Amino acid sequence: MKLLMLTAASMLLACGCNNKPADLPREPQPEGATVYMTTEITPESLIRIYEALGVKAEGRVAVKISTGEAGGHNYLKPELIGPLVKLVNGKIVECNTAYAGKRMNTEDHLAVIADHGFNAIGGVDIMDAEGEIKLPVRDTTYMKYNLVGSHLQNYDFMINLAHFKGHAMGGFGGVLKNQSIGVASRNGKTYIHTNGQSEDYRQLWNYIQPENQDKFLECMATAATSVADHFGDKIIYINVMNNLSVDCDCDSHPADPELNDIGILASTDPVALDQACLDLVFNHADTTGNDATSLKERITDRHGVHTIEHAEKIGLGTRKYNIVNIDK
């Protein structure tokens, strides 16, 4: 299965998926959504940027992260996110993967979680450990519903706490991916990746074709919107721009970052937030040892911006934004 995963990713690499001109980079616009930013990446700055949003996480709080594949090392570390999780009395949540690896089933996933240190800050709720539920979607072009871990219904509020980085299939991963692929059950991940053709994780790689790349990206936007609709105004979004590899935390052997850490950004608008992070990458002034070229190529090759384009089209948010820096 791992070989099939690599083969599929290689097909996408060669597919020329940037068949539409990428509208990048963009610039902040005063009339857009507010995106807060700090260049400090510390537990204290993570709490400050959460507080800057002015939306209090209350009730049963889910903190959605990626726990990171075994062997990987770029995931958000417990010592960075732990104080925020404790401040909001939250519970870290995740779902199992559709690809074969150490997080494909709950027992193995829990072992990875323990190894990565998350038990020290309260452990992780594997939301699809007891099955899945359907959420309605706005865009039924390819998906008729979204399949998410059944434990999602146990929470009143979500902090979408994403590690912004590259991704072998989506081009990049930010809050939109964290809320779509990340919240989807194992079968739900398959449903998104196969643009609605299969819900059976055992059939994942039988349906993925390079010519369907934009459909997949649109399905990610659709799935993210369904989760936003589920929580209403009880959800906020944070992207941590550190360890900026071209590879996702789902990769057990990710490439080393060639781009230095940038900071933490947050918003109540996930479209504006992911767009702002993309623009920081594409507007980056490259120097020796601090070069965004590989990450930009990964995003462009996979037509990654289309996820954001479609999310805006179906009403999840706006690509217009202004940045408010909260550094002292």
Chain segment 48-107, per-residue pLDDT in tens: 999 999 999 999 999 999 999 999 999 999 999 999 999 999 999 999 998 888 898 999
User: What is the distance between the alpha carbons of residues 141 and 144, in angstroms, rounded to a whole number?
Assistant: 8
Q: Output the six-digit token pair for 149.
A: 């871990």
Going by pLDDT thresholds of 50, 70 and 90, the confidence category of residue 162 is: very high
Provide the residue ranges of all domains of the chain, joining segments of one domain with +.
2-16+26-325
- Determine how β-strand 33-38 pairs with β-strand 146-149: unpaired
Taking each helix axis from N to C terminus, what angle separates 305-313 and 270-282, rounded to the nearest 10 degrees? Answer: 150
E-strand stretches of the chain: 33-38, 61-64, 90-94, 124-126, 132-135, 146-149, 157-163, 165-167, 171-173, 235-241, 263-267, 321-325
pLDDT tops 50 at residue 267? yes
Cβ proximity of 204 and 193 under 8 Å: yes
How many alpha carbons lie under 13 Å from residue 197 in its C-beta half-sphere?
14
Q: Output the six-digit token pair for 247.
A: 């590879």
Selection from 158, 295, 327, 154 nearest residue 238 by Cα:
158
**Alpha-carbon separation of residue 18 from 26, 110, 306 (angstroms):** 17, 37, 9
pLDDT number for residue 68: 94
Regarding predicted confidence, which is higher, 10 or 147?
147
pLDDT tops 90 at residue 258? yes
CATH 3.40.50, domain 2-16+26-325, yes or no: yes
Q: What rounded mean pLDDT belongs to the chain?
A: 92
Cβ proximity of 299 and 166 under 8 Å: yes
pLDDT tops 80 at residue 8? no
Supply the pTM of this predicted model: 0.93
Going by pLDDT thresholds of 50, 70 and 90, the confidence category of residue 15 is: very low
Chain segment 203-221, per-residue pLDDT in tens: 888 888 899 999 999 999 9
CA 28 to chain centre: 22
